[in-house]
Structure formats: structure tokens, C-alpha cells
């Protein structure tokens, strides 16, 4: 009996530690589970994404593999190699890349997001140890929020798209003294990738090269990492990819994988070929159409009715498309898609309206992604080309505290801007409306989030972005009440180190810095001034200009807070609905920081980097500048309600319209 048990145990151990291998030279008969837009072409290509924007593609080997001999054991050695290609249809532009993935699930329903999350995680679960995911990313977009090193790199990710280790995409050339040569991931060429884990030494190596050269002897990435706390006993292996506003094709031509051994090499000659670029469609054969129409009068009648319907349909969905817009194709939405997404711009889909136009909720028919569609009237072509160019540039902004501008559409006298949809709407509805009360901890997190997003706009992106309309109504809240700065309709871009140009004064009264009325020049400091008004707005639960009863005149919120401070009770200015449920030190800090950002002299205002340092507790408020706030409030004669030339004096919360400021020569 003992011998039988011993023999059975030995057989089980042998079965658990046996080499498991599969090789796919094409995927036409592969045992794969597909999800999202992933599919297998008739030629046997695994196509992770198609031309759908904001989409996810998952492709996993259908069976789970055993990576441990027991649930508490060490991860076994494994090896994989695959041949892939990332094909961008627009030169010098790419999407977000793809990843080889080992996961406890096949991602059939994982709440994942497209774009910068690569179909792996989402805003709330990124970085959680419970994900138990290893990914090797081929990343073709630089996302500062994830500390990406550039827009063409390879990274080792554990439970997060923030790479544990990454390097610019390259390979060591065996035939040239082992020199390092760069490799363009999204150039459309075939690439071969090797991922190997040594279970005894606990080392993960990643190697890549063009597919037509021998394997480099030296890996690009080597990382000492113990995967045992990450992996479960059984895991799934596969690929994940996603698109953003720019649709890019991600292909896998062949794949081999092995546990406890070296994966088999792939021969290019036995793999399917990449498809050729799609040729322009041929014009319809009019002779055939005429021949068919001549068969019966009935067919002629049907054709006429159909043609009339088609003309009416084209009129219904007609939009403006000029030659210069061809280069912005991936950022341009068709009016038909937006019409369907918003159910014909029905009133029940209306999210809000004002001087800027109307905003509708929509669900894109192709990707089922929720969006917000803003309709703005415009009657002039002046500056439109430059305006659209800036929209496309702003569409490349990537930060967790910014509402992403996905693209645009032009139709007759309308400009339609498409944004991420924010579930909880605008912040001002919670501050001044009848929504649930926001706690102080929620408000403080929102403030820090908006500050982080504004720092990214001012200093961390490739250009300087001036928002020019920072206020509570332009801060939107997602499902978790994270604050995201939105509405870039008044934004301006200029290069780092250059001088911003004079333009018309735009923005919302109460948030406009004093120097704007004299110089007409928006700067990062004028954005900081508006941010200061925003800080007081959130902490006090009051708008920047307090209207006096029975009058169009009023008092500035900043003056009222200063009066409370001079009396030694600055906390009396807090939002009454907070009661005593707040952190005294944080609330006082934010109020004083709001006053400092609202300083009459622009040079005395902090930069957004200094603001973040104060909010994070890494710096203290400069007492000398704070003292200057009181002096400037006492002696300044440039209160916003005393601008005699201001035609909007009686409307302290009005915003100068987009078409007036942007589309009529104001840029």
C-alpha cells in the first residue's frame, strides 16, 4: 500500500512538472479564446485590433497552464517567443501598443479600459496586488502619468501599466560588435520577441529584434523578480492590446510557449504574411447598374426611391470636410456616428447647456464607449484650421486628472467636440446644486488631482497648455469622484521657452487675473490665478464673486476670506455644509494657498509645481508672500467689479463665448 501511494505521488509530481509546449505557426487552427475586437483572419493572422478607435482586443490560449507545483511553491521556468507587427496607417503617429500577458483570467470580463491601459487594467485597479498580472509591453505612446520613458519602449509590468523596468526599444547586433540599435515598434516591420523566466535564479529576460535577423545573444531587459507571490498555480497566457483615438493594427503571426524548457523557434517562411495596404476602392460599374435598371420599370422605381432616400440621408448626416482635414482623420468623428451615439441628440441625453452650447451623453456605436458630445455654433472659417490643429494636439494629452478630448466633427454651422464621459458630472453641481454633499476628504483629493493635471499642462507635456478657464463647472467627476479638468475650448498651446502672444481676454469673470485686462497676454500665472479662485470656491462653497442682495455689484470671495483671516478666524469662511467634519490643517492650508495664488502681482504667485509641493507637504507656504496678499487686497484698485470697460460686469459668472474668442480671429 505504501509503495502504491509513493508511486502515485511520484507520478503526480512528474505530471505537475512536465514540460508543456505549444507552437502556432499561424492561428487558423489555434486553440485561442478571443475577446473584444480581436480576431483571426482567413490567412491565419491573429489580429488584436482593427480600425475601431477606443477598443480592446484580447487573445489568450484557451487552456490554463500550470506554473507552480503547488499553490505556495515557486514559479517554474518558462519561455516564449512570438512574431508581431504594429501597423500605423498614418506615418509618425501611433496608438498605445500591445503586451504579452500572463493572467489568472482570460479577461473576458475584467473591467479593463482601452487607450493607455492597453486593455489590462482601469483607473481604479491599476497597481493592485490582487491583479496578479505579468505583462511585457511594447508601448508606442508616452504617458507621463505612468512614468513612461518615451513613446517607443519595452517594459516589464507587474500588476500595473507603470513598468517595473523599461528601456527604449532596441536590440544588440551580434554582427556589429554587439552595438545597440534602435527599433521602431510602430514602423510596420516584423519583430520577434523572446520572454524568458529562470525560476531558480528568479530572473526575467526580454529580447527583441527585427524578425529577419538572428536572435541577439544579449537581452535588452533583465530584471531580478520573484513571480511566486504574483502567480497562482494555474495561469493563462496571451496578448492584450487597445486603441485610443488613433486606430492602429496589432498583428501576431506566430507564437510558441513552453513551461520548463526553451520555446521552439519560429521560421518566418512558415508564417502567414501581413496584408498589403488596402487599395482604394474601385468605382461602381455604371454600365451594370444601367443594365439592371433597364430590366423593369419597377426596379427603376425602387432605384429612384432608394436614391432619394440616400440623398436625404446624406443631407441628414452632411458635414464639412476640407482638404487640410485629411491628415486629422483618426481624430475626426463622423456626424452619423455621433448622431447615433446621442440617439439623434435627444433631450433625454442632454447633460447640460449654456453660452458654450449643449453637451449630450452618447455611446459610440462601434466601440460602445461612453462619450460626451459638445455642440458649439460657429459661423466663420477664420482661424478654423488652426483651431482644429490645436484640437488634434490636445487629443494627445494623457493624464488621469484631465478629461480626454477624443476628437471633433464639423457640420454646417456646428462644431462638435467629443470628450470622455464623466459619470458624476461637474463639480459645481455638488457645490452649488442639490447633489449629495462632498466631504472634505473628497474635496481635498479633487483639489490635488486638478493641481496635478494643471502641472502636467504647464510643465510636463511636450508643449505648454494654457487652460484659460479653470473653475468648478469645468472640473468633472468620474465614478470614484476623482476630479478631472475638462473643457479645453479656450485652451492655447505654445512651445516651452517661447513667449505667449497677446489675444482677446477670454475666461469667466472672477477667475480672470488683473494683468489680463491690461496686457491681454495669458500665461501660466494667469492660470494659477484662476486656480486660486477655484481653491476658495471649493473650500468656501461660494462663487468667486458674491452678489449683494438687490444689486448687480458685489464682493470678491478673496476679499471676504481675507477679512475672516484678519479677524483671526479664516476657518469661518469654510463651506457651512462641512460642519466640523474636516481636517483643520488641510483646510487652512488650502485657503491660504488659494489667497496666495490670487495675489494681485503675478510674480508673487507660485508655479503649479510649487503648489503641488505645498499640497503634498513637501514645502511650506512663503509667509512673506502671504503677507503681501493682505497688502495687495487693501491697496489694489483693480477689483474685478471696478473695470469700467467690462461689458460683462452684471454677469459675474458668464463665459465669453468660444466662437467669439476662438473662431473670430482671437487666436
Looking at residue 469, what is its pLDDT? 87
Looking at residue 365, what is its pLDDT? 85
Looking at residue 654, what is its pLDDT? 37
- Find the helix or strand (DSSP H, E) in which 510 lies: none
pLDDT confidence tier of residue 659, bands split at 50, 70 and 90? very low
Looking at residue 327, the DSSP 8-state letter turns out to be G
Phi first, then psi, for residue 367 (nearest 5°) are -110, -10
Q: Which residue has the higher pLDDT, 292 or 121?
A: 121
Average pLDDT over residues 333-340: 89
Please give the Cα distance from 377 to 524 (Å, whole number): 28
Q: Look at 89-93, 533-537, 659-663 and tell me which has the smallest mean pLDDT.
A: 659-663
Burial status of residue 81 (CB atoms within 10 A of its CB: 0-12, 13-18, 19 or more)? buried
540 grid coordinates: 468656501
CB-CB contact of 231 with 75 (8 Å): yes
Q: How much is the mean pLDDT over the chain? A: 79
pLDDT confidence tier of residue 298, bands split at 50, 70 and 90? low
pLDDT digits (tens, 9 = 90+) for 92-149: 556 678 999 999 998 755 567 777 788 888 877 888 898 999 999 999 888 877 888 8
Active-site annotation holder among 126, 157, 428, 469: 469
By percentage, how much of the chain surpasses pLDDT 70?
Answer: 74
CB-CB contact of 3 with 11 (8 Å): no
Residue 42: partners with Cβ closer than 8 Å, 6 or more residues away: 28
* Whole-number CA gyration radius for the chain: 29
Residue 8: partners with Cβ closer than 8 Å, 6 or more residues away: none
Biggest alpha carbon distance in the chain? 103
Map 392-427 to HEC letters.
HHHCCCCCCCECCEEEEEEECCEEEEEEECCCCCEC
Average pLDDT over residues 170-189: 87
Order of all β-strands in the sheet with 414-420: 350-354, 357-363, 370-377, 414-420, 405-411
Residue 322: partners with Cβ closer than 8 Å, 6 or more residues away: none
CB-CB contact of 136 with 100 (8 Å): yes
Please say if the pLDDT value at position 215 is more than 70: yes
Please give the Cα distance from 440 to 585 (Å, whole number): 12
Reported pTM: 0.54
Please say if the pLDDT value at position 506 is more than 50: yes
- Find the helix or strand (DSSP H, E) in which 289 lies: helix 286-293
109 is catalytic: no
By percentage, how much of the chain surpasses pLDDT 90?
Answer: 40
What 3-state class would DSSP assign to 23? strand
pLDDT digits (tens, 9 = 90+) for 351-401: 877 656 788 999 988 778 889 998 876 554 445 666 666 676 677 788 989
Please give the Cα distance from 117 to 160 (Å, whole number): 9
Please give the Cα distance from 560 to 533 (Å, whole number): 12
Please give the Cα distance from 228 to 75 (Å, whole number): 5
Reference 243, options 372, 408, 113, 370; nearest CA is 113
Map 362-388 to HEC letters.
EECCCCCCEEEEEEEECCCCCCHHHHH
Please give the Cα distance from 348 to 244 (Å, whole number): 28
Reference 145, options 100, 185, 96, 94; nearest CA is 96
Rounded-to-5 percentages of helix, strand, coil across the chain: 30, 25, 45
Looking at residue 471, what is its pLDDT? 92
Looking at residue 308, what is its pLDDT? 53
In DSSP notation, 9-20 reads HHHHHHHHTS-E
pLDDT digits (tens, 9 = 90+) for 217-245: 999 999 999 999 999 999 999 999 988 76
Please say if the pLDDT value at position 650 is more than 80: no
Please say if the pLDDT value at position 32 is more than 70: yes
Please say if the pLDDT value at position 344 is more than 70: yes
In DSSP notation, 199-259 reads TTTTEEEEEEEETTSPPPSS-SEEEE---TTT--SEEEEEEEEE--SS--EEEEEEEEEEE
pLDDT confidence tier of residue 662, bands split at 50, 70 and 90? very low
Average pLDDT over residues 542-563: 74
pLDDT confidence tier of residue 9, bands split at 50, 70 and 90? very low
pLDDT digits (tens, 9 = 90+) for 409-450: 887 667 888 888 998 988 988 998 766 789 999 999 999 999
Three-point CA angle 277, 310, 284, nearest 5°: 40
Cross-strand partners of 407: 418
pLDDT confidence tier of residue 312, bands split at 50, 70 and 90? very low
562 grid coordinates: 481675507
Q: Which residue has the higher pLDDT, 595 or 498?
A: 595
Q: b/e map of 549-577 (b: 16 or more CB within 10 Å)?
A: eeeeebebbbebbbbbbeeeebeebbbee
In DSSP notation, 534-601 reads HHHHHHHSS-SEEEPTTSS-EEEHHHHHHHHHHTT-GGGGS-GGGTT-S-HHHHHHHHHHHHHHT-SS
Amino acid at each position: 500500500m505504501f509503495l502504491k501511494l509513493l508511486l502515485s505521488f511520484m507520478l503526480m509530481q512528474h505530471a505537475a512538472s512536465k514540460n508543456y509546449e505549444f507552437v502556432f505557426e499561424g492561428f487558423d487552427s489555434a486553440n485561442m479564446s478571443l475577446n473584444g475586437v480581436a480576431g483571426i483572419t482567413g490567412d491565419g493572422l491573429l489580429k488584436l485590433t482593427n480600425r475601431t478607435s477606443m477598443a480592446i482586443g484580447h487573445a489568450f490560449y484557451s487552456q490554463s497552464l500550470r506554473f507552480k507545483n503547488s499553490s505556495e511553491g515557486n514559479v517554474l521556468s518558462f519561455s516564449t517567443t512570438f512574431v508581431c507587427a504594429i501597423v500605423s496607417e498614418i506615418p509618425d503617429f501611433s496608438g498605445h501598443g500591445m503586451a504579452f500577458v500572463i493572467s489568472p483570467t482570460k479577461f473576458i470580463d475584467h473591467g479593463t479600459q482601452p487607450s493607455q491601459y492597453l486593455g489590462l487594467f482601469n483607473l481604479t485597479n491599476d497597481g493592485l496586488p490582487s491583479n496578479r498580472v505579468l505583462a511585457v509591453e511594447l508601448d508606442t505612446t508616452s504617458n507621463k502619468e505612468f512614468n513612461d520613458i518615451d513613446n517607443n519602449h519595452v517594459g516589464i509590468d507587474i500588476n500595473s501599466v507603470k513598468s517595473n523596468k523599461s528601456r527604449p526599444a532596441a536590440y544588440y547586433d551580434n554582427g556589429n560588435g554587439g552595438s545597440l540599435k534602435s527599433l521602431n515598434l510602430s514602423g510596420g516591420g516584423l519583430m520577434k520577441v523572446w520572454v524568458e523566466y529562470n525560476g531558480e535564479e528568479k530572473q526575467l529576460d526580454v529580447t527583441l529584434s527585427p524578425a529577419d535577423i538572428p536572435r541577439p545573444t544579449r537581452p535588452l531587459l533583465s530584471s531580478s523578480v520573484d513571480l511566486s507571490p504574483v502567480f497562482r498555480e494555474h495561469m493563462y497566457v496571451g496578448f492584450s492590446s487597445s486603441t485610443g483615438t488613433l486606430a492602429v493594427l496589432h498583428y501576431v503571426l506566430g507564437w510558441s510557449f513552453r513551461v520548463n524548457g526553451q520555446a521552439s523557434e519560429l521560421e518566418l517562411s512558415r508564417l502567414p504574411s501581413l496584408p498589403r495596404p488596402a487599395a482604394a476602392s474601385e468605382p461602381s460599374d455604371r454600365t451594370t447598374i444601367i443594365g439592371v435598371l433597364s430590366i423593369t420599370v419597377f426596379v427603376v422605381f425602387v432605384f429612384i426611391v432608394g436614391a432619394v432616400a440616400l440623398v436625404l440621408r446624406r443631407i441628414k448626416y452632411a458635414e464639412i470636410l476640407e482638404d487640410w482635414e485629411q491628415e486629422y482623420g483618426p481624430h475626426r468623428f463622423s456626424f452619423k456616428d455621433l448622431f447615433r451615439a446621442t440617439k439623434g441628440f435627444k433631450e433625454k441625453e442632454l447633460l447640460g447647456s449654456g453660452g458654450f452650447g449643449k453637451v449630450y451623453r452618447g455611446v459610440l456605436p462601434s466601440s460602445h464607449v461612453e462619450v460626451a458630445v459638445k455642440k458649439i455654433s460657429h459661423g466663420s472659417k477664420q482661424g478654423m484650421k488652426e483651431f482644429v490643429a490645436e484640437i488634434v494636439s490636445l487629443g494627445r494629452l494623457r493624464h488621469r486628472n484631465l478629461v480626454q478630448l477624443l476628437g471633433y466633427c464639423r457640420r454646417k454651422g456646428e462644431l462638435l467636440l467629443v470628450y470622455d464621459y464623466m459619470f458624476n458630472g461637474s463639480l459645481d453641481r455638488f457645490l452649488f446644486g442639490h447633489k449629495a454633499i462632498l466631504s472634505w476628504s473628497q474635496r481635498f483629493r479633487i483639489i490635488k488631482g486638478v493641481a496635478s493635471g494643471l502641472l502636467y499642462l504647464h510643465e510636463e507635456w511636450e508643449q505648454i497648455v494654457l487652460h484659460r478657464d479653470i473653475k468648478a463647472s469645468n472640473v468633472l467627476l468620474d465614478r470614484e469622484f476623482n476630479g478631472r479638468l475638462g473643457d479645453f475650448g479656450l485652451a492655447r498651446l505654445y512651445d516651452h521657452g517661447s513667449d505667449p502672444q497677446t489675444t482677446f481676454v477670454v475666461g469667466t469673470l472672477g477667475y480672470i487675473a488683473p494683468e489680463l485686462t491690461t496686457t491681454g497676454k495669458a500665461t501660466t500665472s494667469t492660470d494659477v490665478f484662476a486656480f486660486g479662485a477655484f481653491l476658495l470656491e471649493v473650500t468656501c462653497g461660494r462663487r468667486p464673486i458674491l452678489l449683494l442682495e438687490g444689486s448687480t455689484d458685489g464682493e470678491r470671495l478673496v476679499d471676504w476670506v481675507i477679512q475672516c483671516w484678519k479677524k483671526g478666524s479664516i476657518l469661518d469662511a469654510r463651506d457651512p455644509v462641512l460642519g466640523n467634519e474636516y481636517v483643520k490643517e488641510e483646510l487652512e492650508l488650502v485657503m491660504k494657498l488659494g489667497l496666495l495664488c490670487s495675489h494681485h502681482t503675478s510674480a508673487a504667485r507660485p508655479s503649479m509645481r510649487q503648489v503641488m509641493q505645498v499640497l503634498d507637504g513637501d514645502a511650506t507656504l512663503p509667509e512673506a508672500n502671504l503677507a503681501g496678499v493682505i497688502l495687495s487686497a487693501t491697496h489694489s484698485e483693480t477689483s474685478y467689479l471696478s473695470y469700467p470697460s467690462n461689458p460683462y460686469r452684471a454677469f459675474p459668472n458668464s463665459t465669453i463665448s468660444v466662437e467669439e474668442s476662438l473662431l473670430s480671429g482671437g487666436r
